[in-house]
């Protein structure tokens, strides 16, 4: 079983940056009369911040990281590791983390690492980077994550457009002797990878003239082979089944009393799915902050974006005991139990 506990590593801060452009679901041109209202009621998503052609998700990372490093007062030379978790690289080669090392002015002695992960990415990235830090040689690391989901899916696809928003996150992690243990549970169901995927663009199905053509699969379901496809029903079935099981396994394995934790942070998929998951775990609504309404589903950014947009003051002023659960692209999932103690958590940055 993929359980993992990590000692002597603490989250020191989280910053989030979103693009300024907003896409309103009520007026999105993919709905028939009355459909927008129904979709908003079901998904809980009213609008999303979306990237436009002149901003990359790495620009959001940069703004978030610069703010975070400045607020922490960290010398750039003290940062030994940089990890980028994303499905939206600047280039297919090299890893975005290498480029970000330079853009952030980090030392050449910095370890860089890209992880190709979607929705579960913040949890996977946190586990990976924290593991590297836990032996005490690498003392400070920055985790950058988030996607350009709106550019990777078709704006004419009503199964994607109402859901996805864009955001970039920076999380600061530090070696701290005696820090409360971080505890994780992970899993993967690769056989269902086609529930959320982009068929063309990799080596198995290279980009061709055909894969760039818009194809119609139904009314307002128009996309290219290079665009993201989501089988909403299968993702829903996966989420409501796997997420509660993962959280229960985590809590049983590490003897965590979910009732005594302060925050239950879920990947922000959609309102209907998230409330099913929350109710299955008997978590009261007030302990499970949500940011779907104004930001949509922001892939791996959704958990830290929820922390920043919904409770940044609480994270700065208090010690909080958190359980988070992320699930999606892969299909894969990860749950984590972690403590934050007066972290740096500035208000969300609009790029």
Partner 1 sequence: MDINQFIENFTEQFDELEAEVLKPETKFKELDEWSSLVALSVIAMVDEEYDVTIKGDDIRNSDTVEDLFQIVKSRA
Residues contributing to the site for partner 1 (CB under 8 A): 38, 42, 192, 195, 231-234, 236-238, 240-241, 272-273, 276
Backbone conformation region of residue 299, classed left if phi is above 0, alpha if psi is from -120 to 50, else beta:
left
Cβ proximity to partner 1, 36 vs 273, nearer residue: 273
Q: Which residues contact 212 (CB under 8 A, 6 or more apart)?
A: 224, 225, 226
Find out whether 296 and 45 touch, Cβ atoms under 8 Å.
yes
Nearer to partner 1 by C-beta: 97 or 196?
A: 196
Q: What is the DSSP letter of 234?
A: H
Q: Which is nearer to partner 1, 180 or 232 (CB)?
A: 232
Instruction: Give min distance, CB of 276 to partner 1, in A.
Output: 6
User: What span, in angstroms and rounded, lies between the C-alpha atoms of 94 and 100?
Assistant: 11
Smaller CB separation from partner 1, 235 or 291: 235
CB closer to partner 1, 127 vs 277: 277
Q: How far is the CB of 236 from partner 1 (least distance, A)?
A: 5
- End-to-end Cα distance, the chain: 41
The CA distance from 267 to 238, in Å, is: 13
- 42/135 with CB nearer partner 1: 42
221 vs 339 by CB, closer to partner 1: 221
- CB contact set of 41 (below 8 Å; sequence gap of 6+): none
Say which residue the tokens 């955001």 belong to. Answer: 167
Q: Which residues contact 123 (CB under 8 A, 6 or more apart)?
A: 184, 186, 303, 324, 325, 326, 334, 335, 336
CB 158, min distance to partner 1, A: 10
Q: Using CA atoms in the order 30, 36, 39, 41, what is the torsion angle rounded to 10 degrees?
A: 160
Q: Which of 177, 203, 204, 167 is nearest to 301 (CA)?
A: 167
Shortest reach from residue 275's CB to partner 1, in Å: 10
Token representation of residue 160: 């994607």
For the CB of residue 189, give the shortest distance to partner 1 in the complex, in Å: 10
- Least distance to partner 1, CB of residue 107, Å: 48
**DSSP 3-state of 270:** coil
Q: Name the minimum Å distance from CB 192 to partner 1.
A: 7
Q: Which is nearer to partner 1, 158 or 312 (CB)?
A: 158
Shortest approach of partner 1 to residue 219 CB, angstroms? Answer: 13
In whole angstroms, what separates CA 71 from the centre of its chain?
A: 22
């Amino acid at each position: 079983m993929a359980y993992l506990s990590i000692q002597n590593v603490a989250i020191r801060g989280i910053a989030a940056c979103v693009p300024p452009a907003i896409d309103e679901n009520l007026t999105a041109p993919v709905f028939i009369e009355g459909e927008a209202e129904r979709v908003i009621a079901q998904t809980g998503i009213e609008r999303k911040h979306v990237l436009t052609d002149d901003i990359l998700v790495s620009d959001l990372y940069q703004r978030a990281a610069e703010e975070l490093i400045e607020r922490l007062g960290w010398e750039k030379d003290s940062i030994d590791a940089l990890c980028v978790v994303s499905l939206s690289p600047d280039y297919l080669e090299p890893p975005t983390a290498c480029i970000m090392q330079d853009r952030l002015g980090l030392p050449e002695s910095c370890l860089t690492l890209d992880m190709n992960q979607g929705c579960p990415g913040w949890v996977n990235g946190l586990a990976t980077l924290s593991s590297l830090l836990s032996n005490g040689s690498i003392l400070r690391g920055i985790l950058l994550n988030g996607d350009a989901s709106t550019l990777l899916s078709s704006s004419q696809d009503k199964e994607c457009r109402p859901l996805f928003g864009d955001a970039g996150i920076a999380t600061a992690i530090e070696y701290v002797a005696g820090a409360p243990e971080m505890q994780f549970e992970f899993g993967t169901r690769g056989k269902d990878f086609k529930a959320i995927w982009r068929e063309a663009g990799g080596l198995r199905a290279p980009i061709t003239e055909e894969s760039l053509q818009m194809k119609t699969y139904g009314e307002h379901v128009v996309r290219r082979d290079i665009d993201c496809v989501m089988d909403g029903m299968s993702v829903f079935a996966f989420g409501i089944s796997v997420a509660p099981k993962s959280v229960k396994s985590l809590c049983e394995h590490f003897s965590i009393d979910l009732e005594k934790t302060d925050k239950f942070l879920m990947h922000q998929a959609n309102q209907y799915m998230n409330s099913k998951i929350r109710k299955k775990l008997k978590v009261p609504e007030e302990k499970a902050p949500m940011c779907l309404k104004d930001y949509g589903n922001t892939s791996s950014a959704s958990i830290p974006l929820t922390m920043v947009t919904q409770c940044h003051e609480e994270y700065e002023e208090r010690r909080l005991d958190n359980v988070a659960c992320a699930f999606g692209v892969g299909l894969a999932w990860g749950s984590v139990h972690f403590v934050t103690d007066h972290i740096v958590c500035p208000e969300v940055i609009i790029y």
